[in-house]
Chains A and B, each alone.
Chain A
Amino acid sequence: MSFINYSSREINCKIVYYGPGLCGKTTNLQYIYAKTNPEAKGKMISLETETERTLFFDFLPLSLGEIRGFKTRFHLYTVPGQVFYDASRKLILKGVDGVVFVADSQAERMDANLESLENLRTNLKEQGYDLDALPYVVQYNKRDLPNAIDLDYLKQYINPTNVPDFEAVATTGVGVFDTLKAVAKQVLIELKRGR
């Protein structure tokens, strides 16, 4: 749920990166953090385990500029991808304005992708959201790996509703900003509609 402050002339929105464990959600945020001007970003927070797996969430506040004199701020969150952190994932989806599903292109992660996607729908539903009515984009990450599956096959299963989707290599930044821009744009369009 976005937050509009007429006094400070700010608009804040929440975007959540979802996907199976080790698909590259945190890497997306790390790349965005590394490539954004210092004045446009806040501190990136990662609540992670000792082995650098996301424990609760990563958080990155970003300023995108002004629309009609209002500063637009996006709060980017990732969820912990590991299956047993489901309770935490549900909490992070609260108040979400837009979702990025990061799929792992490796053939052996296909089941994990589908499980995570199903989990996303279920958890959104529990919060009263419908994935098909939310700003939503899909990212196929790790396209550079030799065991990456055919794109058409991925699309067929991961993106049956044909939302905007992007090929990515989050470690080098390929597709990272395209994904972010696409979801941020959808969020603003929803806001314009008066949601």
Chain B
Amino acid sequence: MSSTPMVLFEEEFKQITAICDQLHRDAAATAVFLVDKNGQLLANSGETGNLDTTSLASLTAGNIAATGGLAQLLGEKEFAIQFHEGEKDNIHISLVGQRVILVIIFDERSSLGLVRLRVRKAGIELAAIFEIIHQKASESGSTVFSEITDDDIDNLFGDG
């Protein structure tokens, strides 16, 4: 039995995007991403135009999954933070509320210390919103897709 879909409504989407925007400014980051643990991109902020955001989301989730596997082997629950240092750009990856991944890309205009500090605050705010999102998703049994018909689905595959 698969679990309930993750549903993101307009109101919460605006809230999490606002937090990402704020974090982008406060941490002097190049870009901020919020990714579902299953690899779906939830929100982003900053200079994302040149980035393949879909691939970034999928690889980040893979990375977190692999690191989580390592943690379990060592008897740890999770390694909540990862940091990758490049020549120009760096990536800070952290887990928010066990389910969502917060990714910060930053360069020499910021520092690891500043990013960690800002991420901590934003993480608390995001965790609270995702708590609401999960509640809403489990309460609302039906989605817009309850109304789709077999014809709608057939039409999608009609032109092969």
Contact = CB atoms under 8 A, between A and B. Distances in A.
Contacts of A61: 54-55, 58
Interface residues of A, number: 53
Contacts of A43: 52, 54-55
Given A14-B38, A188-B148, A1 B156 contact: no
A12 B62 CA distance: 17
A94 B65 contact: yes
6 contacts: A45-B55, A65-B156, A70-B145, A90-B69, A96-B2, A192-B145
A110 to B, nearest CB: 30
A145 B13 CA distance: 51
Nearest to B160: A177
Interface of B: 1-10, 13-14, 36-40, 42, 52, 54-55, 58-59, 62, 65-66, 68-69, 141-148, 150, 152-153, 156-157, 160
A195 B160 CA distance: 26
A173 B19 CA distance: 45
B40 A4 contact: no
B3 A72 contact: no
B142 to A, nearest CB: 5
The winner among B6, B142, B153, B160 for most chain A CB atoms within 10 A is B153
Interface stretch (A115-123, A128-136, A161-169): A128-136
B10 A1 contact: no
Given A94-B65, A97-B2, 18 more contacts: A3-B40, A3-B42, A4-B5, A4-B7, A6-B10, A7-B14, A47-B62, A61-B54, A61-B55, A68-B144, A87-B69, A91-B65, A185-B153, A188-B148, A188-B156, A192-B145, A192-B146, A195-B4
Interface in A155-186: 177, 181, 184-185
Contacts of A75: 39-40, 58
Interface string A112-154: 0000000000000000111001100000000000000000000
A95 B5 contact: no
Contacts of A184: 157
Given A3-B36, A56-B66, A64-B156, A195 B58 contact: no
Given A1-B38, A185-B153, A7 B62 contact: no
Pairs of residues from A and B, 7 with the lowest C-beta to C-beta distance, nearest first: A95-B38, A7-B13, A91-B65, A2-B5, A3-B40, A42-B54, A3-B6
A5 B8 contact: yes
A61 B57 CA distance: 11
B156 A67 contact: yes
A4 B153 contact: no
B85 to A, nearest CB: 21
Contacts of A3: 5-8, 36, 38, 40, 42
A67 B149 CA distance: 10
A83 interface: no
